[in-house]
Chains A and B, each alone.
Chain A
């Protein structure tokens, strides 16, 4: 080759490498050749959010929105794996599992330009622990939490305590050796700690002290101070009418948002009206923001509409439904009934009889029309989450009317124990009433037992159920994060206050408490095995009747690229593009 051609080749190579490096190192927004000029995403939320303050939020909608405004040290990716977020990498964990060392990314800024440092993490987590919102316990494993959780100061008084690092509101296990390192010392090993702090829109998220101190309780209501590290920031809000968000320019993360604006319509509260508006082109997406409970009639109509059926996505969500028995009777739990643990084999057989008498496959057909739920055959934890037992692995999910009848005869030969029973439910969820009616008919047809059904408004129902006021009741759980601890700590045993209060069944045995305490300290296969042993314990004692796992229904216009959902949450707004249409 001539020198000129060598030079040309060299230049070509250097140029190619430069381009490759640029592609590899940069975080360009996802490119599509046919992007629409108007990159505004519009969707409804059927009720306004409760709060966008991560310290106190406790509703799915709050969290779905906040995940686009705030970040934590770690997060769940779309496959429900915990991955680094603001942290530069996953933390290093000491051999005894008591110390987590997080190294922070150095390029993270809040939407107002403030740089994120380890001090922000300390402030945010101390604040969350001290404010004692519903998810404050996600930080409960950190040393010093018990003391901080007793704080009663609020508002400006709490802000003053936080600002001077008062010991009463400072987690002793939380330190910042330098601006980009956070050291977390636990009071005991906790295999669930990382999934818990990865929960988006919750207590593990980082807030800007400079913004929060403008208005300690309501800083998030004002677009000027609703500051986070996420790819979107709130630009306007008319309560119960609409909320607007704009992409943060030069956002530090990846992928860079393509959407420039997200408009949430809060004025439509009726699901069918919202769906009609979607069909008219008024919305780009339906089901985002925690409102994926689509009426079955609308789903069937859309399934029968050729040009819309491909827009419908039915996604299993993390909600599980079952029937709970009251299993303890004392001065605080007054319901009593025939299903008590203290009744020994008779109580066990009656619980089993009531469980086997229900045809769960038929329930799914009758109540959910085989659309909005699937039969719960793999335990209480839903399919797709850690702790799922496997298809068909829950014997309580079986239907055996003959055995149910035999068990009933032996445990209650004259029918006196099962006379006058009542099943209580909250009618706000549209599935609960038909479920109650179905159960009533199954127990009548397959056991010959007449059970009354009683609707009670939701908040009253939950309060009374947790006090042990119902013999038979609707029960269920929506997972907060992908870890079995979220289920076994929150629903049974001493941690929630069983047997005296705080749990539906009152179920609390020493074996259960010991094993859950052990499992909570473990991680990996050993933890999984122990949590499955806990599930088996509940099955052996027939603590529940499994019913179904629910599905969410979503509608996505064909031109909305990147929108979607996993079992837990919506895909983030920065992954979405509006294509020409």
Chain B
């Protein structure tokens, strides 16, 4: 599968991603420094204390000088600097750790998105125009009509508060995050909140696609050959019905990544999404740049992954 052409394609894309990351971080660097306000100023500072702080972080140097230092440190040393708000916190290890947490949550969300979405779509298609179809279709409409932060808040109320009260603390979702990567018990609900809106989109797309495929001649032929219905559905219909679903995976992955900004905050997950909002509010320039840089890399790599998936699903595609 990994032909020379594919490897070349991957190489080209990685170079492009590298350029994109540098471009994004540069734009953010120059943009964030133009924002009014900063992380260091407060009303307790007297005399030259503010100037000393600016000097400590090199923020009193000309912007161009700061930019070239930043760029060379990032490219040649992978060093994104130090937090302005949390002294002594090095940003590269921080955002890399947070990125892995977000990727973990995102992958779980993707499992919900694809797994649940496909399941609902296939069942709705196979039970077309029955009450099952109507219920699933309505659920899908509700799912993609509601942003993930509304779903997240509702799920916390439902599973963490009401269920806790209802069962007198016997069965409920325990809010929290253990260690760096949490536990399955802590991930499933935020992943569901993040993935459910997109699962609804996948469900509708899968349903439409399945309805088209199961009316194809080759499906009729398969039935005539006496193949089992499950084999026909999974091996022959679903695989072809998946191709349109895969085409929207790219935007879905981006949606899941950006949706994490809110969901991570609501569930208290120490990922990149949580950092995104807080660092901008705190005017922590260096972390903002680090977060955007990581997001740019993540989006680029996720898109590359989706593009490579085409090859697996559709043998007609070659790079």
The residues of A with any CB-CB pair to B shorter than 8 Å are 47-51, 53, 56, 58, 132-137, 149-150, 152, 154, 217-218, 220-221, 238-241, 265-270, 273-274, 276-277, 279-282, 428, 457-463, 466, 480, 490, 496-497, 502
Q: Which of B43, B56, B270 contacts A462 (CB 8 A)?
A: B43
Residues of A within 8 A of B207 (CB): none
In the assembled complex, the Cα of A280 lies from the Cα of B161 at a distance in Å of 8
On whether the beta carbons of B88 and A221 are closer than 8 Å, the reply is: yes
**Contact A277/B45 with A269-B265, A459-B37 known, Cβ cut-off 8 Å:** no
On whether the beta carbons of A276 and B161 are closer than 8 Å, the reply is: yes
Residues of B within 8 A of A458 (CB): 37
Residues of A within 8 A of B270 (CB): 240-241, 266-267
On whether the beta carbons of A270 and B44 are closer than 8 Å, the reply is: no
CB distance from B277 to the nearest CB of A (A): 9
On whether the beta carbons of B87 and A459 are closer than 8 Å, the reply is: no
**Contact A58/B94 with A132-B49, A273-B156 known, Cβ cut-off 8 Å:** no
On whether the beta carbons of B46 and A270 are closer than 8 Å, the reply is: no
Given contacts A240-B98, A266-B270, A274-B268, 16 further A-B contacts (CB under 8 A): A48-B89, A56-B87, A134-B42, A218-B87, A239-B83, A239-B94, A240-B94, A267-B274, A268-B177, A273-B175, A276-B160, A280-B164, A282-B176, A457-B37, A460-B37, A490-B44
**Contact A132/B48 with A58-B42, A218-B87 known, Cβ cut-off 8 Å:** yes
Residues of A within 8 A of B278 (CB): 47, 269
In the assembled complex, the Cα of A417 lies from the Cα of B281 at a distance in Å of 36
Contact sample, A vs B, 9 pairs, CB 8 Å cutoff:
A133-B49, A154-B52, A240-B86, A267-B268, A274-B268, A280-B172, A282-B174, A458-B37, A466-B43
In the assembled complex, the Cα of A241 lies from the Cα of B98 at a distance in Å of 10
**B254 in the interface (beta carbon within 8 A):** no
On whether the beta carbons of B275 and A240 are closer than 8 Å, the reply is: yes
In the assembled complex, the Cα of A152 lies from the Cα of B177 at a distance in Å of 43
The residues of B with any CB-CB pair to A shorter than 8 Å are 36-39, 41-49, 52, 55-56, 83, 85-89, 94, 97-98, 156, 160-161, 164, 169, 172, 174-177, 180, 265-270, 274-275, 278, 281, 283
CB distance from B54 to the nearest CB of A (A): 12
On whether the beta carbons of B268 and A132 are closer than 8 Å, the reply is: no
In the assembled complex, the Cα of A135 lies from the Cα of B47 at a distance in Å of 12
Rank and list the top 6 A-B pairs by shortest CB-CB distance, nearest first: A268-B268, A460-B37, A459-B37, A218-B88, A134-B44, A460-B36
Residues of A within 8 A of B36 (CB): 457, 460
On whether the beta carbons of A277 and B175 are closer than 8 Å, the reply is: yes
In the assembled complex, the Cα of A277 lies from the Cα of B180 at a distance in Å of 18
Q: Is the interface of B mostly helix, strand, loop or mixed?
A: loop
In the assembled complex, the Cα of A50 lies from the Cα of B53 at a distance in Å of 13
Residues of A within 8 A of B98 (CB): 240
On whether the beta carbons of B85 and A50 are closer than 8 Å, the reply is: yes
On whether the beta carbons of B274 and A269 are closer than 8 Å, the reply is: yes
**Contact A241/B37 with A50-B85, A267-B270, A282-B174 known, Cβ cut-off 8 Å:** no
Shortest Cβ distance from A305 into B: residue: B165
On whether the beta carbons of A270 and B266 are closer than 8 Å, the reply is: yes
**Contact A53/B87 with A152-B52, A240-B270, A280-B175 known, Cβ cut-off 8 Å:** yes
Q: Which of B46, B89, B97, B268 contacts A269 (CB 8 A)?
A: B268
In the assembled complex, the Cα of A460 lies from the Cα of B39 at a distance in Å of 10
CB distance from A57 to the nearest CB of B (A): 9
Shortest Cβ distance from A218 into B: residue: B88
CB distance from B160 to the nearest CB of A (A): 6
Shortest Cβ distance from A475 into B: residue: B43
In the assembled complex, the Cα of A281 lies from the Cα of B176 at a distance in Å of 11
**Contact A51/B87 with A134-B42, A459-B283 known, Cβ cut-off 8 Å:** yes
On whether the beta carbons of B42 and A280 are closer than 8 Å, the reply is: no
CB distance from B305 to the nearest CB of A (A): 27
Q: Which of B42, B46, B275 contacts A137 (CB 8 A)?
A: B46
On whether the beta carbons of A270 and B268 are closer than 8 Å, the reply is: yes
In the assembled complex, the Cα of A266 lies from the Cα of B267 at a distance in Å of 12
In the assembled complex, the Cα of A149 lies from the Cα of B160 at a distance in Å of 53
Task: Pick from A137, A152, A267, A490 the residue with the most CB of B within 10 Å.
Answer: A267
Q: Which of B45, B88, B156, B283 contacts A220 (CB 8 A)?
A: B88
Task: Pick from B39, B86, B88, B265 the residue with the most CB of A within 10 Å.
Answer: B88
On whether the beta carbons of B48 and A217 are closer than 8 Å, the reply is: no
On whether the beta carbons of B39 and A149 are closer than 8 Å, the reply is: no
Residues of B within 8 A of A274 (CB): 268
On whether the beta carbons of A152 and B55 are closer than 8 Å, the reply is: yes
In the assembled complex, the Cα of A463 lies from the Cα of B39 at a distance in Å of 11
Residues of B within 8 A of A269 (CB): 265, 268, 274, 278
Shortest Cβ distance from B174 into A: residue: A280
Residues of B within 8 A of A281 (CB): 169
CB distance from A78 to the nearest CB of B (A): 24
In the assembled complex, the Cα of A48 lies from the Cα of B88 at a distance in Å of 12
Residues of A within 8 A of B42 (CB): 58, 134, 459, 462
Residues of A within 8 A of B265 (CB): 269-270
Residues of B within 8 A of A49 (CB): 86
Shortest Cβ distance from A461 into B: residue: B37
In the assembled complex, the Cα of A168 lies from the Cα of B56 at a distance in Å of 19
In the assembled complex, the Cα of A277 lies from the Cα of B88 at a distance in Å of 29
On whether the beta carbons of B87 and A50 are closer than 8 Å, the reply is: yes
Residues of B within 8 A of A268 (CB): 175-177, 268
In the assembled complex, the Cα of A577 lies from the Cα of B41 at a distance in Å of 39
On whether the beta carbons of A265 and B39 are closer than 8 Å, the reply is: no
On whether the beta carbons of B41 and A462 are closer than 8 Å, the reply is: yes
On whether the beta carbons of A277 and B176 are closer than 8 Å, the reply is: yes
In the assembled complex, the Cα of A238 lies from the Cα of B97 at a distance in Å of 10
CB distance from A296 to the nearest CB of B (A): 17
CB distance from B141 to the nearest CB of A (A): 28
In the assembled complex, the Cα of A457 lies from the Cα of B98 at a distance in Å of 26
Residues of B within 8 A of A241 (CB): 180, 270
Shortest Cβ distance from A48 into B: residue: B86
**Contact A463/B37 with A220-B88, A240-B275, A496-B46 known, Cβ cut-off 8 Å:** yes
In the assembled complex, the Cα of A496 lies from the Cα of B46 at a distance in Å of 7
Shortest Cβ distance from A57 into B: residue: B87
Q: Which of B169, B180, B275 contacts A238 (CB 8 A)?
A: B180
Shortest Cβ distance from A267 into B: residue: B270
CB distance from A509 to the nearest CB of B (A): 21
Residues of A within 8 A of B169 (CB): 280-281
Residues of B within 8 A of A466 (CB): 43
In the assembled complex, the Cα of A457 lies from the Cα of B180 at a distance in Å of 32
On whether the beta carbons of B269 and A154 are closer than 8 Å, the reply is: no
CB distance from A421 to the nearest CB of B (A): 22
In the assembled complex, the Cα of A240 lies from the Cα of B45 at a distance in Å of 25
On whether the beta carbons of A273 and B180 are closer than 8 Å, the reply is: no
In the assembled complex, the Cα of A502 lies from the Cα of B49 at a distance in Å of 13
CB distance from A274 to the nearest CB of B (A): 7
Residues of A within 8 A of B275 (CB): 240
CB distance from B35 to the nearest CB of A (A): 8
CB distance from B221 to the nearest CB of A (A): 55
Task: Pick from A58, A218, A269, A490 the residue with the most CB of B within 10 Å.
Answer: A269
CB distance from A290 to the nearest CB of B (A): 14
In the assembled complex, the Cα of A494 lies from the Cα of B283 at a distance in Å of 30
CB distance from B278 to the nearest CB of A (A): 6
Shortest Cβ distance from B94 into A: residue: A239
On whether the beta carbons of A276 and B156 are closer than 8 Å, the reply is: yes
CB distance from A437 to the nearest CB of B (A): 22
In the assembled complex, the Cα of A502 lies from the Cα of B46 at a distance in Å of 8
Residues of B within 8 A of A457 (CB): 36-37, 283
Residues of B within 8 A of A58 (CB): 42, 44
